[in-house]
Chains A and B, each alone.
Chain A
Amino acid sequence: DGGITQSPKYLFRKEGQNVTLSCEQNLNHDAMYWYRQDPGQGLRLIYYSQIVNDFQKGDIAEGYSVSREKKESFPLTVTSAQKNPTAFYLCASSIRRLAGGTGELFFGEGSRLTVL
Chain B
Amino acid sequence: EDKVVQSPLSLVVHEGDTVTLNCSYEVTNFRSLLWYKQEKKAPTFLFMLTSSGIEKKSGRLSSILDKKELFSILNITATQTGDSAVYLCAGGIQGAQKLVFGQGTRLTINP
Partner-binding segment picked from B14-22, B51-59, B97-105: B97-105
Main SS of chain A's interface residues? Answer: loop
Chain B interface size band reads 20 to 34
A42 x B92 contact (CB < 8 A): no
Establish whether residues A101 and B42, one from each chain, have CB atoms under 8 Å apart when the complex forms. Answer: no
In the complex, chain A residues whose CB is within 8 Å of the CB of B43: 43, 90, 105, 107
Which residue numbers of A lie inside 8 Å of B, CB to CB?
A: 31, 33, 35, 40-45, 48, 50, 58, 90, 94, 96-97, 99-110
Known: A101-B31, A104-B45. A50 touches B101 (CB 8 A): no
Which of chain B's residues 82-111 have a Cβ closer than 8 Å to chain A?
Answer: 88, 90, 92-104
Q: Can you name 30 A-B residue pairings with CB atoms under 8 Å?
A: A31-B97, A35-B101, A42-B4, A42-B88, A42-B102, A42-B103, A43-B88, A43-B90, A45-B99, A48-B98, A90-B42, A94-B97, A96-B97, A99-B94, A99-B95, A100-B31, A100-B95, A101-B32, A101-B92, A101-B93, A102-B92, A102-B97, A102-B99, A104-B34, A104-B48, A105-B34, A105-B45, A105-B99, A110-B41, A110-B42
Q: Name A42's contact: one of B32, B42, B101 (CB within 8 Å).
A: B101
Q: Report the minimum CB–CB distance from A46 to chain B (whole Å).
A: 11
Give B13 Cβ to nearest chain A Cβ, in Å.
20
